[in-house]
């Protein structure tokens, strides 16, 4: 976030982050006391926004309060990072240590490009910059096997390494680079499929290819 942004933008972003945490807590908790605390936290966020944004408290409360709305797809990102024409893959602890591209969900107030950079840093220790959106794929239209209860779009980015050192993170048990003919068979197919990995190699070799769309 730039220091040149007006104060209202900064407070709105912070309040939005608090709202996202509040909603996640309300969904996951089974404790009535915790549920009430999350509601209080949401009310405090509304008050802070009203005080620092020159808004009427009732208006800000309406903007921040969790509400039932139309369901929309969740957004996931995956990063294709190459070194000497070899692709970075990580073993996912949550899926029996199977291999996948680093990635995950986009958080509130993140851009997709910043989200994929964060995921790569957390899962593989490398600092990267996304430079091409290679694919926007609807998960339901690909044979991932396991069914998700919600609709998911996946954005696959080609990324360049800008720093860091290769290492595992809390969610990964191994990280390594693979040539196309060496791609492992024990993939986390809930996350990536072999044809999708091969397609990233194609985008690497043919930079002018347009983004793949379902």
DSSP string, 18-54: HHHHHHHHHHH---HHHHHHHHHHHHHHHHHHHHHHT
Residues in contact with 27: Cβ distance below 8 Å, sequence separation at least 6, in sequence order: none
Percentage with pLDDT > 90 across the chain: 62
Give pLDDT, residue 21: 72
**Is 53's pLDDT higher than 70?**
no
Give pLDDT, residue 60: 44
Mean pLDDT computed over every residue of the chain: 85
Residues in contact with 213: Cβ distance below 8 Å, sequence separation at least 6, in sequence order: 135, 136
Mean pLDDT of the region 132-145: 95
Three-class DSSP category at 40: helix
Report pLDDT digits (tens) over 163-211. 999 999 999 999 999 999 999 999 999 999 999 999 999 999 999 999 9
**Is 13's pLDDT higher than 80?**
no
Give the C-alpha separation, 36 to 197, whole Å. Answer: 45
Give pLDDT, residue 9: 63
Mean pLDDT of the region 106-132: 96
Give the C-alpha separation, 108 to 148, whole Å. Answer: 21
**Is 4's pLDDT higher than 50?**
no
Give pLDDT, residue 99: 98
Give the C-alpha separation, 65 to 85, whole Å. Answer: 48
pLDDT band, residue 126 (cuts 50/70/90): very high
**Is 3's pLDDT higher than 70?**
no
Give pLDDT, residue 70: 61
pTM, rounded to two decimals: 0.74
Give pLDDT, residue 67: 47
């Amino acid at each position: 976030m730039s220091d040149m942004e007006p104060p209202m933008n900064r407070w709105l972003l912070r309040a939005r982050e608090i709202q996202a945490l509040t909603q996640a807590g309300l969904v996951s908790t089974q404790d009535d006391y915790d549920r009430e605390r999350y509601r209080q936290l949401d009310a405090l966020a509304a008050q802070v926004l009203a005080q620092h944004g020159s808004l009427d408290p009732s208006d800000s409360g309406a903007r921040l309060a969790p509400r039932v709305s139309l369901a929309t797809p969740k957004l996931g990102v995956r990063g294709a990072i190459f070194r000497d024409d070899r692709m970075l893959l990580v073993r996912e602890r949550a899926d029996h240590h199977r291999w996948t591209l680093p990635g995950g969900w986009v958080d509130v107030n993140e851009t997709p490009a910043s989200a994929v950079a964060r995921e790569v840093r957390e899962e593989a220790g490398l600092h990267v910059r996304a430079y091409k959106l290679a694919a926007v794929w609807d998960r339901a239209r690909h044979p991932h096997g396991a069914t998700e209860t919600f609709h998911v779009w996946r954005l696959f980015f080609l990324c360049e390494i800008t720093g860091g050192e290769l290492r595992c993170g809390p969610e990964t048990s191994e990280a390594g680079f693979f040539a196309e003919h060496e791609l492992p068979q024990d993939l986390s197919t809930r996350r990536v499929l072999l044809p999708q990995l091969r397609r990233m190699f194609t985008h690497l070799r043919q930079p002018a290819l347009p983004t793949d769309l379902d």
